[in-house]
Structure 1
Amino acid sequence: MLHGQKIVVVMPAYHAEKTLAECHAAIPLDIVDEVLLVDDASDDATVAVAQRLGIRTHRHAVNRGYGGNQKTCYALALGADADIVVMLHPDYQYEPRLITAMAAMIASGVYDVVFGSRILGNTAIAGGMPRYKYLFNRLLTAFENLLIGSKLSEFHSGYRAFSRKVLETLPLASNSDDFVFDNQMLVQAHAFGARIGEMSCPTKYFADASEINFRRSVVYGLGVLRVAMTYRLWKWRLLKSQLFSAAPADRLTAMKPDAP
């Protein structure tokens, strides 16, 4: 806990058997109250490794996609009475030891959303990010900042922390089940007035780390452009969109985690 607030780490997992143990070992369990893993119908030993490590695990019977996995992660975290939720990929690309700092930025009451930026600190290329992905990141981020009116260093990091209020308020149920979920969530946080903070986060690209291919990257990029344009039209009141709905039906419903 930090400042009396329960901290839950959620791990959206798919084929993470080779990296999960090392990633989990780096989590600061002195302040993290619970770790929840959602396996997206992996056909490897991810679930077995998680159970051996004592991680509370939920398994999808069928693959629901990266966004669908996160929806379950956040619903379970809400059901576990989390006050602060940190989403950490189990492929060990992001540095788990930064969880303490990220959670503290929310526990202090200064921010509602915090993400680890690969761009701040200029570590992305040094960490092995493919140059075409770095270029796409910079171009897409510049476009989104222009349309959305923000000044974030990037919109595409998968390392994030949220207050409970944010997860209960955003219309996450209306988001995609694919990779663009991450982008939709951050734009929604901006649209709903959440206070967004960033911190520099080194990342590692290696053989066992999860990575989408060039074709999926292009699909993701087109989705990002669509989200930004949808936001701008919604902001101008020229378009109604469920992505920015305040209706309770578009929010996640808390789920009780499976028994350990």
Structure 2
Amino acid sequence: MLGGKKVIVVVPAYNAEGTIERTLAEIDRSVVDEVIIVDDAGRDRTSELAQVRGDSVITHTANRGYGANQRTCYGEALRRGADIVVMVHADYQYSPRLIPALAGLIASGHYDVALGSRILGNGARTGGMPWWRYVANRALTALENALVGQKLSEYHTGLRAWSREILDALPLAELSDDFVFDSQTLALAILAGANIGEISCPTRYMEEASSINFRRSIRYGLGVVRVSLACRRALRGRPRGVFRSVSMLDVPRSVDQHRHVGIAPAPPLRTIETGDQSGI
């Protein structure tokens, strides 16, 4: 609990056996009420290693993609009554020790979304981010800011915190199963009127850390531009597609002050409950 709010950490994972233990070990259990790991049908021992700490592990029966993995993460966290949901990648590229700080931004009532930014400070390049990724990140972020009227330092982080209210307001069931899911959720949050905060986050680029290749990076970048353009149209009163599912909302909000969009029914999952799940 943090400020009387239930905090659940979700960890989307895929072939993360080299890093999952270190990621889970650095989560502050004095603040975090539950940890949920979702293994997207990886071929290694990620699920087995994740069970050791007694956390909940959900394993997809087939690989569904990064966005679909997060949809399972958020849907399960909301089902278990989370007030604050923090997502951290399983590849140890982002510091789990910052989870209390991110959750605190949400618990303060000042922010609906909080991001751990690799770009604030000097952490990106000193942490080993390849120069071409750094340049692409800065260029995409500048374009996104220009299109949607924000001043964020980064849109592409794998360390994010959400209030229950804003997650409930997003049409998660309609979003991409691929990496552009991240951009869609932030764009929709902006359209919904969310207040977004950031903190500086160190990064670690290493052999075990997951990373999409150059070709998929290009496809991702083009997808981000399309999402930003769609968000700009919606902000100007011409929403299309999923952007028709979100209305401008007053903040701060309570659960009763907005429309619950809901989560799509999940395909068959294998759930391994290894911790004390009393009260769930």
Matches within 5 A, 1:80-95: 80-95=80-95
- How far 1:24 moved relative to its partner? 0.8
Which has the higher mean CA deviation after the structures are superposed, 43-52 or 205-214?
A: 43-52
Query: Deviating runs (4+, > 6 A) in structure 1?
Result: 254-257
Partners of 2:236 and 2:200 lie apart in 1 by 33
Instruction: Please tell me whether residue 117 in structure 1 is matched to residue 106 in structure 2.
Output: no
Task: Identify if the C-alpha distance between structure 1 residues 243 and 60 changes in structure 2 by more than 3 Å, giving closer, same or farther.
Answer: farther
Matches within 5 A, 1:61-80: 61-80=61-80
Task: Identify if the C-alpha distance between structure 1 residues 4 and 239 changes in structure 2 by more than 3 Å, giving closer, same or farther.
Answer: closer
Partners of 1:99 and 1:237 lie apart in 2 by 36
| Structure 1 unmatched ranges of 5 or more | none
The CA deviation string for residues 45-93 of structure 1, in whole angstroms up to 9 with x for no partner, is: 1111111221201110110100000000000000111110000111111
Q: 8 Å contact 1:188–1:244 — kept in the other structure?
A: no
Q: 8 Å contact 2:188–2:246 — kept in the other structure?
A: no
Residue identity opposite 1:17 in structure 2:
E
Instruction: Report how many residues are paired.
Output: 260
Partners of 1:104 and 1:244 lie apart in 2 by 31
The CA deviation string for residues 130-167 of structure 1, in whole angstroms up to 9 with x for no partner, is: 11111111111111111111111111111100011111
Q: 8 Å contact 1:174–1:250 — kept in the other structure?
A: no
Which has the higher mean CA deviation after the structures are superposed, 26-35 or 237-246?
A: 237-246
- How far 1:230 moved relative to its partner? 1.0
| Partner SS, residue 126 of structure 2 | coil
The CA deviation string for residues 230-253 of structure 1, in whole angstroms up to 9 with x for no partner, is: 112222334422134139685326
Matches within 5 A, 1:33-48: 33-48=33-48
Instruction: Please tell me whether residue 100 in structure 1 is matched to residue 100 in structure 2.
Output: yes
Task: Identify if the C-alpha distance between structure 1 residues 206 and 151 changes in structure 2 by more than 3 Å, giving closer, same or farther.
Answer: same
- How far 1:258 moved relative to its partner? 5.7
Instruction: Please tell me whether residue 197 in structure 1 is matched to residue 197 in structure 2.
Output: yes
TM (norm. structure 1) is 0.95
| Partner SS, residue 75 of structure 1 | helix
TM (norm. structure 2) is 0.89
The CA deviation string for residues 172-229 of structure 1, in whole angstroms up to 9 with x for no partner, is: 2111110011111111111100110000000100000001110110000000010011
* Equivalent in the alignment of 2:254: none
Q: 8 Å contact 1:191–1:244 — kept in the other structure?
A: no
Residue identity opposite 2:42 in structure 1:
S
Identity of aligned residues (%): 53
Task: Identify if the C-alpha distance between structure 1 residues 254 and 81 changes in structure 2 by more than 3 Å, giving closer, same or farther.
Answer: farther
* Equivalent in the alignment of 1:24: 24
Q: 8 Å contact 1:174–1:251 — kept in the other structure?
A: no
Q: Please, which of 234, 244, 252 is the counterpart of residue 263 of structure 2? A: 252
* Equivalent in the alignment of 2:53: 53
Q: 8 Å contact 1:75–1:254 — kept in the other structure?
A: no
